[in-house]
């Protein structure tokens, strides 16, 4: 069975895409459309080796963006497939599935309505994700579209993990609760960790640390998320590029009062805090590391605060699960920064974590075990691949369909 799957991640003004040949899980092409609906729209299209193709065109909406991507994928000069008929299905990243979706689904009318109903939980993302699905339905009406939710993997959290300590009626009325995000990444790295450790995922306790510009730590017990550090919103948990991490409500209320509006307080917490806010230098950990080497005390403080927040979650989640077999680092900072990994694990020897510092220092963006051979708790670096996870989920859903016609597309 030959299957080519187009994976789409639509933001409010951007679209990232990858075309997979599922026979060998090869990436045939990938690219990025930027500034959709804004002057200066452009596409950067890669197809294997060679320089990327850059096109600067007027791209008013997601429909036009997808049409352009399909033209590039099939064009005589830029293409990797002969015709659009070769695309068997599309998989879409959808940020919020609320409490309704614990797994990926094929997007029919009722799914589209449900995604729309979750817009109040993800006002910037869900409308863009929906626009992407609609645009694909129009461009290629014959193929299925899968919705792969960032929240789905965390729907296995028990109520004691997902409820907040506020009156229960707010959960009943408004579904105020922890949802957390990055589920596709946590699912991908946990299943890869099980493969690397050579043990069934059902018998593993993992703490997966997705530390990037946005970050979340998850307790994965037997392959199921049982706690996760992001919440109803995307600012709690560990300190992030521009988001605060965990905050006392007194601080939130103070900011609202001091700055005079909820919107301004929200901007401070989400866009001006975290690594950027503490350091006053940058939201990018590479800049912070460089500044700290040059002697900036605020940069050093920022790194220490970030590492301390990660450490607290690792230990807390091991406690929640009654132990941990492995700690996994992924995403931009987790995959690349040996310094953040080392600082985060410092002092966790008491719970059986022994880092091989020399090995850790040599790992930047590649898969590796960085604990010592005798470490009771393994430490792994696993580059995340959310797009591949979306493609795999899409393939699984398409194979399950009673109508197998699309599966034989070549
Ligand atoms: P996003 O959450 O936007 O998907 P990523 O997971 O790609 O983000 O992470 C991006 C972040 O990774 C950058 O802001 C930067 O701080 C960090 N990063 C990338 N490379 C390195 C590196 N070599 N050392 C430290 N941090 C890095």
| Confidence at 111, pLDDT banded by 50, 70, 90 | very high
Q: Is residue 51 in some structural domain?
A: yes
Residue at token pair 């991507």: 69
Residues 143 and 193 in one domain: no
Residue at token pair 């399909």: 70
Residues 105 and 200 in one domain: no
Q: Is the CB of 337 under 6 A from ligand 1?
A: yes
Cα of 34 from ligand 1 centre, angstroms: 19
Best of 333, 336, 342, 383 for a ligand 1 pocket test (most atoms within 8 Å of beta carbon): 333
Q: Is the CB of 203 under 6 A from ligand 1?
A: no
Look at residue 403 and tell me whether its pLDDT is greater than 90: no
Question: Residue 401 has what pLDDT?
Answer: 83
The whole-number average pLDDT for the span 61-88 is 95
φ/ψ of residue 234, rounded to 5: -110, 20
Look at residue 50 and tell me whether its pLDDT is greater than 90: no
Question: Residue 402 has what pLDDT?
Answer: 73
Look at residue 101 and tell me whether its pLDDT is greater than 80: yes
Residues 305 and 250 in one domain: yes
Cα of 271 from ligand 1 centre, angstroms: 16
Question: Residue 1 has what pLDDT?
Answer: 57
| Mean of all residue pLDDT scores within the chain | 95
Q: Is the CB of 286 under 6 A from ligand 1?
A: yes
Q: Is the CB of 384 under 6 A from ligand 1?
A: no
Residues 109 and 249 in one domain: no
Percent pLDDT > 70 in the chain is 98
Q: Give 77's DSSP letter.
A: T
The contacts found for 38-47 with CB under 8 angstroms, 24 or more apart, are: 38/13, 41/65, 43/68, 43/69, 43/72, 45/69, 45/72, 45/78, 47/78, 47/79, 47/80
Residues 138 and 192 in one domain: no
Would you say 256 and 323 are in contact if contact means Cβ atoms under 8 Å apart?
no
Q: Is the CB of 216 under 6 A from ligand 1?
A: no
| Confidence at 406, pLDDT banded by 50, 70, 90 | very low
Look at residue 5 and tell me whether its pLDDT is greater than 80: yes
- Domain boundary (124, 149, 174) is at 149
Three-state DSSP at 88 gives strand
Residues 86 and 209 in one domain: no
Using CA atoms, how far apart are residues 369 and 196, in angstroms rounded to an integer? 9
Residues 46 and 109 in one domain: yes
Using CA atoms, how far apart are residues 44 and 213, in angstroms rounded to an integer? 22
Would you say 319 and 311 are in contact if contact means Cβ atoms under 8 Å apart?
no
Q: Is residue 174 in some structural domain?
A: no
Residues 130 and 204 in one domain: no
With vertex at residue 18, the alpha carbon angle to CA 17 and CA 23, rounded to the nearest 5 degrees, is: 155
Q: Which range (48-52, 150-154, 358-362) has the least confidence? A: 48-52
Contacts of 192 by beta carbon, 8 Å cutoff, 6+ apart: 367, 382
Q: Is residue 317 in some structural domain?
A: yes
Look at residue 407 and tell me whether its pLDDT is greater than 70: no
Characterize the bridge pairing of strands 53-56 and 224-228.
Answer: unpaired
Residues 203 and 118 in one domain: no
Per-residue pLDDT of 120-177, as tens digits, reads 999 889 999 999 999 999 999 989 999 999 999 999 999 999 999 999 999 999 999 9
Look at residue 220 and tell me whether its pLDDT is greater than 50: yes
The residue range of the domain holding 293 is: 183-386
Residues 90 and 232 in one domain: no
Cβ-based neighbour number of residue 49 at 10 Å: 5
φ/ψ of residue 33, rounded to 5: -105, 130
* Closest residue to atom 14 of ligand 1, CA basis: 284
Using CA atoms, how far apart are residues 369 and 280, in angstroms rounded to an integer? 34
Best of 278, 285, 381 for a ligand 1 pocket test (most atoms within 8 Å of beta carbon): 285
H-helix segments, 140-243: 159-162, 169-174, 183-197
Alpha carbon separation from 360 to 141, 202, 330, 336, 342 (Å, rounded): 48, 28, 13, 10, 8
Question: Residue 409 has what pLDDT?
Answer: 40
Q: Is residue 379 in some structural domain?
A: yes
Look at residue 410 and tell me whether its pLDDT is greater than 70: no
Residues 218 and 127 in one domain: no
Q: Is residue 162 in some structural domain?
A: no
Question: Residue 157 has what pLDDT?
Answer: 98
Q: Which range (57-61, 282-286, 344-348, 405-409) has the least confidence? A: 405-409
Alpha carbon separation from 319 to 205, 314, 315, 343 (Å, rounded): 11, 9, 6, 20
| Burial (CB count <10 Å: 0-12, 13-18, 19+), residue 156 | middle
Using CA atoms, how far apart are residues 279 and 296, in angstroms rounded to an integer? 9
Look at residue 367 and tell me whether its pLDDT is greater than 60: yes
Q: Is residue 336 in some structural domain?
A: yes
φ/ψ of residue 21, rounded to 5: -95, 110
Q: Is residue 241 in some structural domain?
A: yes
Percent pLDDT > 90 in the chain is 94
The whole-number average pLDDT for the span 174-192 is 97
User: Which CATH number belongs to the domain containing residue 141 in this structure?
Assistant: 3.30.420.40
Q: Is residue 167 in some structural domain?
A: no
| Confidence at 404, pLDDT banded by 50, 70, 90 | low
Number of domains, the chain: 2
| Confidence at 54, pLDDT banded by 50, 70, 90 | very high
Look at residue 405 and tell me whether its pLDDT is greater than 90: no
Per-residue pLDDT of 6-45, as tens digits, reads 999 999 899 999 999 999 999 999 999 999 999 999 999 9
Residues 192 and 266 in one domain: yes
């Amino acid at each position: 069975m030959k299957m080519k799957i187009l994976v789409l991640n639509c933001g409010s003004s951007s679209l990232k895409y990858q075309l997979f040949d599922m026979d060998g899980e090869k990436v045939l092409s990938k690219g990025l459309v930027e500034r959709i609906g804004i002057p200066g729209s452009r596409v950067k299209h890669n197809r294997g080796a060679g320089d990327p193709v850059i096109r600067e065109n007027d791209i008013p909406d997601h429909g036009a963006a997808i049409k352009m991507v399909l033209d590039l994928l099939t064009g005589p000069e830029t293409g990797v497939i002969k015709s659009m008929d070769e695309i068997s299905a599309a998989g879409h990243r959808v940020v919020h599935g609320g409490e309704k979706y614990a797994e990926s689904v094929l997007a029919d009318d009722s799914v589209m309505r449900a995604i729309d109903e979750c817009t109040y939980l993800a006002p910037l993302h869900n409308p863009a994700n929906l626009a992407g699905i609609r645009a694909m339905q129009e461009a290629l009406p014959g193929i299925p579209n899968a919705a792969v939710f960032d929240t789905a993997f965390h729907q296995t959290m028990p109520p004691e993990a997902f409820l907040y300590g506020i009156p229960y009626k707010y959960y009943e009325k408004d579904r105020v609760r922890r949802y957390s995000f990055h589920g596709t990444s946590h699912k991908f790295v946990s299943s890869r960790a099980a493969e690397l450790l050579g043990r069934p995922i059902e018998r593993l306790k993992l703490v997966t640390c997705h530390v990037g510009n946005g970050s979340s730590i998850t307790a994965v017990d037997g392959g199921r998320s049982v706690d996760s550090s992001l919440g109803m919103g995307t600012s709690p948990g560990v300190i992030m590029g521009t988001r605060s991490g965990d905050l006392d409500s007194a601080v939130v209320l103070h900011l609202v009062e001091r700055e005079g509006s909820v919107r301004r307080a929200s901007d401070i917490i989400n866009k001006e805090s975290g690594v950027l806010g503490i350091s006053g230098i940058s939201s990018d950990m590479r800049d912070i590391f460089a500044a700290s080497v040059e002697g900036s005390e605020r940069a050093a403080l920022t790194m220490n605060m970030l590492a301390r927040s990660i450490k607290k979650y690792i230990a807390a989640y091991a406690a929640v699960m009654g132990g941990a077999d492995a700690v996994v680092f992924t995403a931009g900072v987790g995959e690349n920064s040996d310094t953040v990994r080392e600082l985060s694990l410092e002092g966790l020897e008491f719970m059986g974590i022994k880092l091989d510092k020399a090995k850790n220092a040599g790992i930047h963006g590649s898969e590796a075990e960085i604990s010592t051979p005798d470490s009771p708790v393994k430490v792994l670096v696993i580059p995340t691949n959310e797009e591949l996870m979306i493609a795999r989920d899409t393939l699984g859903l398409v194979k399950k369909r009673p109508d197998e016609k699309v599966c034989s597309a070549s």
